[in-house]
Amino acid sequence: MKKITLPLLATLLACLITPSLMAAPSKADIQASVDLRKHWQGLTRDLAFPARWVPDSHEFYYRLTVAGGFAFIKENADSGEKGPAFDQAMVAKGMSQAEGETVTALNLPFDDFWYEDDGISFLLHYEPWHCNLSTAVCAKKPQHSRPIADDEVRDLRMPADNHLRSSPDGKLQAHVIDHNLQVLDQDGKTLLLSQDGTAGNFYDPQTIQWSPNSRYLVIFRVIPGYPRYVTRVLSSPKAQLQPEVIQQLYPKPGDVIDMAQPVLFDLHTGNHTDIDAALFPNAYALANLNWRADSKTFAFEYTRRGHQQARLIEVNAASGKGRVVIDETSNTFIYQWRGYRHDVNNLGNEVLWLSERDGWAHLYLYDGKHAKVKNLITDGDWPVREVVHVDDTKRQVWFAASGVNPGEDPYFVHYYRVNFDGSGLTELTHTAANHHVSFSDDMQYFVDNYSRVDLPNMAELKKADGTLVRTLAKADISRLTAAGFKAPQVFVAKGRDGKTDIWGLIVKPQHFDPSKHYPVIENIYAGPHDSFVPKDFWPFGYHSGGDKVIGMLALANLGFIVVQLDGMGTANRSKAFHDVAWKNIGDSGFPDRILWHQAAAHKYPWYDISNGVGIYGASAGGQSTLSALLFHPAFYKVGVAFAGCYDNRMDKMSWNEQWMGWPVDDSYLRSSAVVNAANLQGALMIIFGEQDSNVDPSSSLQLVNALINADKDFELLQVPSGEHTVGRSTGPIDYVQRRQFMFFIKQMLHQQTPNWNAK
């Protein structure tokens, strides 16, 4: 019998330590985790964010981490001269006055901007803002055009932008009067006035498009859809005691949407023609209408309701007759948000078109005259992610793709150039990393900003052929590393088919001890519109919202392993990988996720899933959190769900019909957390903001109602005035995060949490 020595005894005891026997996180420990982001975010230097180019110039600008915050730098590619992109102190003064709270120059409340008019513009809390650079004045930009809610239903409470729209030759002007199109000559004389427009079938002035030769005009006549309003109560307004009622136009799956009819007007003959609607039956969208350069035709893209058919339709201006140039169909969905089309030389004789018909997103060159494919431009078991530039003269395409290079993370984005005939594929970015590239308008230069979770950002200026001009910035993370930051660990395991690699990250606590066992919590977002595991270094996220690596580390420091992975049903892999989400949002990739967790637990003794896995997520991640607890209760035991859409019938039409289809059927019920609320077995905390303008807050309350009716226990935190990103980028961030942390401590470590009310 082997003698038990003191070192061996210590090892055995360590193996027997369970999370419940570890020291409970103190109030100071929890507060340190809550404060981790604010304490660490300023520790990097010279970390450049992706660049933008000043239009029609060789000047570009980017955001850079400096002592005390962030500087915006502008640089000239030719001369190398650089300086401030704008007066940050002046903008800070203007924002302080506009927001009624102190904004400092090195901590402006936006990550990105663009030059516009006499200043800069940017987005803040979903809304466009503008700051004048000659005076310290910042304000929200006024809304001039009539909004189209979720791109489907016009908000008829708001007036349309009905200014006179001049023909290219300047001799005619068009607008809408009493729901009808009116065309005036230079003397103000009416040349044409339609007679069939009514309040229930009106001409939309915001859709007027003149032909280049000024002879023709096309405009949409619109039958309004159903104006569904989400009504919210602002319980605690800043400026008054009494609550306010807010109404938001918000189309939901299955609602009747606006019906748009393109109408062609010939100003020489006075005739007008309704384009044959048989070409675009049950239209969900008619988009990207443009006149060809010779004024002989115009074209537009059509998506059928249900997202299983897309077409390119061309209309002959002389006859008003339309024809289908490209007809794309799918048994599942066509991801039109990632669609792309380019009319070569803007004549329509040739068309570039993005399709997933062979199982991967690739570019095709079409013969526009004969409506058939000429050749495949890109080819391989990898997806085109974005088309950056097309040179019709050189017959070349610049594009981004991922998964091209064997042995690399298949999500790493690289940039390429290829000829129209598919020859000459040239990679422009060679480092094995994730690349963000921006080109000058003349395509002479590009800025390549690349990194990995374990490789801090490098920003380089390169010529169009990929040769290096100079290094712009190399991130210094020495202070961050000294504070205790360690890069997440990449982990790969096979998915449900036994063949496909599932990629994820493992975040360990700062003071990780491999001899201990740590319970595991998963940070989930499984929306089918993208992939979500961080591939860039910046651990705080390129944009304000979202719980990136630093948020995962803050939670891990309390005694957990925190992970994130992309399961099947998310984007940026093959069509088959993506199709798992079709009419199946509730799947959320869980068969892949569970296998990934089990593979990690098999490899690492400290990866403890013996008592179940915790999970948290926001928005679609909130819905997935409930799906984990309801549909996989033997594996997922504890969840915190933020701002979720818990029944896809309650959420915005555009996102949900894209993945769940139309008409609304029982697949919506199968994925619904509300319908399946009685299945809850684990511990659940629900958090949402009462002013969520992205997901109807009633979705959270309907879940609450269903849980009460099913006699289930749970915790609820409703944040007055909170928006969709409550607890992640707006609202009482620290408070909400602390509540989340303490819930996991109590439910997964089985420890008493500090009394925050005690003095």
- Is residue 105 a contact partner of residue 65, using CB atoms and an 8 Å limit? no
- Is residue 626 a contact partner of residue 672, using CB atoms and an 8 Å limit? no
Confidence band (pLDDT; 50, 70, 90) for 15?
Answer: very low
Q: State how far the alpha carbon of 164 is from the alpha carbons of 145, 185, 206, in Å.
A: 13, 11, 10
**What average pLDDT does the segment 254-259 reach?**
98
Q: Which of 304, 312, 366, 364 is nearest to 334 (CA)?
A: 304
- What's residue 4's pLDDT? 44
Instruction: Tell me the pLDDT tens digit for each residue of 84-135.
Output: 999 999 999 999 999 999 999 999 999 999 999 999 999 997 789 999 999 9
Q: Return the SS3 of 20.
A: helix
| Rounded Cα distance, 441 and 397, in Å | 14
- What's residue 725's pLDDT? 86
- What's residue 731's pLDDT? 63
Q: Is residue 366 predicted with pLDDT exceeding 60?
A: yes
Angle at 290 between CA 289 and CA 294, to 5 degrees: 150
Instruction: Tell me the pLDDT tens digit for each residue of 677-687.
Output: 999 999 999 99
In CATH, the architecture of 6-34+488-748 is 3-Layer(aba) Sandwich (3.40)
- What's residue 728's pLDDT? 61
- Is residue 175 a contact partner of residue 197, using CB atoms and an 8 Å limit? no
| Rounded Cα distance, 67 and 42, in Å | 7
Confidence band (pLDDT; 50, 70, 90) for 759?
Answer: confident
Entry field: residues in the chain: 759
Q: Kind of pairing, strands 613-618 and 518-523?
A: parallel
| Residues above pLDDT 90, as percent of the chain | 93
Q: Is residue 544 predicted with pLDDT exceeding 50?
A: no
Helix (H) or strand (E) holding 446: strand 445-452
User: What secondary structure letter does DSSP report for 275?
Assistant: -
How many CB atoms within 10 Å of residue 76? 14
- What's residue 508's pLDDT? 98
Structure tokens at 503: 């990629």
Q: What is the DSSP string of 195-245?
A: S--BTTBEE-GGG-EE-TTSSEEEEEEEE-----EEEEEESS-SS-SS-EE
On the CB side of 714, CA atoms within 13 Å amount to: 30
- What's residue 13's pLDDT? 39
Token match 């079938």: residue? 201
User: What secondary structure letter does DSSP report for 147?
Assistant: P
Confidence band (pLDDT; 50, 70, 90) for 9?
Answer: very low
- CA of residue 126 relative to chain centroid, distance: 12
Structure tokens at 444: 């002479």
Confidence band (pLDDT; 50, 70, 90) for 727?
Answer: low
**What average pLDDT does the segment 600-626 reach?**
98
Q: Which of 437, 430, 434 is nearest to 456 (CA)?
A: 434
Rg, C-alpha atoms of the chain: 28
Domain parsing of the chain, residue ranges: 6-34+488-748, 48-142
Helix (H) or strand (E) holding 641: strand 636-642
- What's residue 8's pLDDT? 40
**What average pLDDT does the segment 501-510 reach?**
98
Instruction: Tell me the pLDDT tens digit for each residue of 207-231.
Output: 999 999 999 999 999 999 999 999 9
Instruction: Tell me the pLDDT tens digit for each residue of 151-193.
Output: 999 999 999 999 999 999 999 999 999 999 999 999 999 999 9
Confidence band (pLDDT; 50, 70, 90) for 17?
Answer: very low
Q: Is residue 646 predicted with pLDDT exceeding 60?
A: yes
- What's residue 729's pLDDT? 60
Confidence band (pLDDT; 50, 70, 90) for 14?
Answer: very low
Instruction: Tell me the pLDDT tens digit for each residue of 441-492.
Output: 999 999 999 999 999 999 999 999 999 999 999 999 999 999 999 999 999 9
- Is residue 609 a contact partner of residue 601, using CB atoms and an 8 Å limit? yes
Q: Which of 20-24, 350-354, 587-591, 670-674 has the lowest mean pLDDT?
A: 20-24
The mean pLDDT of the chain is 95
